[in-house]
Amino acid sequence: MQKLINKLLEGNRLSLITGAYSILVTILFLMPGSDIPGVEIPFIDKWVHIGLFLALSLLWTLLLDRKDLAYTKAMVLLFLLLLFYGMVIELIQHTLLPTRTADPWDVLANTIGILLGIWMGRRLGQTKGLKV
């Protein structure tokens, strides 16, 4: 598994994966509500938000770490940018998408996902010996 992850982190692959995933997440959040399949699991929407933002922040954490930026400043900026991104998505859903609504609990779920992703990205980079 470690070799596979190192392979994905080589060259520009991580940049391409991170960029593509960022675009995919944006598309998913801007889809009309009627296009989203309904699942009867309590709080599934919040778990989806946590998962999407966890993966988003994990990828960005690994990417930024590879660029040798000052860690603390980069992670604070990443957290703030992703938090702002999540809030803008909620605002767009509320104002421009008639089949979607804004939910402050989504922002909380996004925040949890962001924090977990940054934490996991740093742990992955430090404890697994990845070349990030």
Q: What is the pLDDT tens value at each position of the chain, 132 positions in all?
A: 566 566 556 657 888 899 999 999 999 988 876 556 666 666 778 999 999 999 999 999 988 765 555 777 888 999 999 999 999 999 998 898 888 888 899 999 999 999 999 999 888 866 555 544
Backbone φ and ψ for 77, nearest 5 degrees, come out as -65, -45
User: Could you tell me the pTM of the whole model?
Assistant: 0.81
Mapped onto helix, strand or coil, the DSSP state of residue 131 is: coil
Contacts with 67 (C-beta within 8 Å, 6 or more apart), sequence order: 74
